[in-house]
Structure 1
């Protein structure tokens, strides 16, 4: 059995068909939307609306962890736009989702990332695409558990939830062979982004589940340039499956 796993796709619908070649099943761990691109400021919804230079300044503020200033800058940009902000953003996200979901191979198993809009997913699902969050599924004789979304941060991305709500989803999954999440367990080496120069939020609940149930694998994304992309917690191999937007290659799981 061969399963290809990706995360943090961020608009790279074009790379999905090649990433699925040779796979018996495909898994996506979320973050489909590309609001802005830290490396190519001309890509993403914000650049389409306001231009690359405006995005460059916003990224500078966010990288400096001046999140309130970044929000003020965003409000300044939006003040010059006619129409309702939420309506404009949702229309742009819908265009990205339409391309993304059309590009997913079958079967694909997916969950949400912290920048995703869960209420839109049902409109784009089709036969062969299975959405899972706090749920399990059997693939090739192994039990896979899925936990989507992120935890609260100063970034205030669209799908951040409280720690207790997140922990409830982790508990609902229970013991599995492969634990699939968008965010990593709360381990410093896995949550530190060397390019951003900061610790992202990891989950204590995921860490505890790994320690207690020892799945074969814990797979996740979220941290684009981690200090360490793979390590063991007991018998569990924990793997950041990679920043798909940047590299366009999947993590391959075979058994």
Structure 2
């Protein structure tokens, strides 16, 4: 069997130029979600909010997010969208344009799932026929079975808050997320946007907190013992990798800021 170099990327967050460079040389590209950037905390004029409202109006959003004042953050976010006459139409237009740019640089055969800031309905409208996102699906690469789980999850035991603005990313109730994981067949490589529930992998050292995890992923790893469990989501993790039994659990990196792929050669 001929060896295949598999290139994993996650958390693109609008870095289409970097994605195009990696895609041009990838033998097999795997994208683990968060294609969009709702807010660019480094360059406020970029991202969805920056495109719609401008950098000056994104700066207060970023300050509230950094301060952890989520009540005020939600109120400010809602107030911004209340100033738009057709927020759904405008948001759909902006997201559709971003997704069109992304799918145009992806080679045929790319394996892709979405993350917790992605908008599943818009991706399906723009790219679903050419490249449907993978969720609860298994694909074979070089004789290895790759299983995919899309999106984000609410916190187990905590009811999901109804969407407060027109922005409705792919975040599902914990029970729904876990059901997708539980139904997934045994695989060699588990691919998700979220990490399993291991504090070493969930802790982001910049905001100094545990980030969202995928309910059921850790139990799946213990039950089926895949060789690898790959994910993104946590931009500055305390550790990028951890061993769980025979499974190597690994964060493939924050592609927006560090646009290189994590490569694995399968032979």
Same fold, TM-score > 0.5, yes or no: yes
Identify if the C-alpha distance between structure 1 residues 162 and 174 changes in structure 2 by more than 3 Å, giving closer, same or farther: same
Cα distance in 2 for partners of 1:46, 1:55 equals: 7
2:139 alignment partner in structure 1: 137
CA offset digits 1:55-90 (Å, max 9, x no partner)? 121112122221120111123323333x22122111
1:178 alignment partner in structure 2: 189
Within 5 A, what are the aligned runs for 1:87-236?
87-125=89-127, 129=131, 131-152=133-154, 158-236=169-247
Deviation of 1:127 after TM superposition, in Å, equals 7.5
User: Contact (CA 8 Å) 1:17, 1:105: kept in 2 or not?
Assistant: no
Within 5 A, what are the aligned runs for 1:18-97?
18-81=21-84, 83-97=85-99
Cα distance in 1 for partners of 2:107, 2:231 equals: 20
User: Contact (CA 8 Å) 2:96, 2:126: kept in 1 or not?
Assistant: no
Deviation of 1:96 after TM superposition, in Å, equals 0.4
In the superposition, the TM-score normalised over structure 2's length comes to 0.89
Identify if the C-alpha distance between structure 1 residues 247 and 148 changes in structure 2 by more than 3 Å, giving closer, same or farther: same
User: Contact (CA 8 Å) 1:25, 1:106: kept in 2 or not?
Assistant: no
CA offset digits 1:79-138 (Å, max 9, x no partner)? 333x22122111111110010111112220111111111112233337873531001010
Deviation of 1:204 after TM superposition, in Å, equals 3.6
| Local SS of the residue matching 2:197 | coil
Deviation of 1:41 after TM superposition, in Å, equals 1.4
Cα distance in 1 for partners of 2:81, 2:174 equals: 31
Cα distance in 2 for partners of 1:65, 1:126 equals: 36
Q: How many residues align?
A: 254
In the superposition, the TM-score normalised over structure 1's length comes to 0.93
